[in-house]
Structure 1
């Protein structure tokens, strides 16, 4: 004679498995729905784009000049020394009004100027 307990146990297992699968399916559906309805991730263009450093060589500190790619410590010191000497002679004038003015600095040549020009800013003569 067949034992009804075996059959009941199988029915219980089947019911438990069905409920468990429904819960998992509901979870997957909720996750998929949230992913589909979520707005696309926002990107900040300024955070992703490389920042161009713009320095005024008349006012930039040695630390600021050190962040300019293509300038060695020796060249930075040469810019500072040249600037101080020019300001001692002409305190009411700017030392560097154009990129060509930097060509007068020792250890700064055309190759260096080409590397650093995109990082420098020369304000109009009225600013100082």
Structure 2
């Protein structure tokens, strides 16, 4: 028979959830690759079974699926690289547009007697900073 009050039970459940979430956070470096590999295995399973149905040896079907994943990864990396290169080329235009928008915001705030240093805001939200974070 439980002698805990409802408040004590709620606090115990809350503390247990915090401990569980802290454990998940601490184990994330191990768990994320594990879950990712499990997801990839489950997603590729039907393709391997389909190849096995057409009498392709299992080792060959697994090899072909791995090659398909590698090719897809290289294509994705190329796409991301191209997007980053275009972003880097267009950064001066983004900086000009962002500066214009900040000028408008500062002017609108000045109408309400709120004085903000535009250069300070631009230094906080620089597109170059976003690029350095991405690369």
* Bigger proportion of residues as helix: 2
Report the TM-score when normalising by structure 1: 0.23
**Higher relative contact order, chain-length normalized (CA < 8 Å, sep 6+):** 1
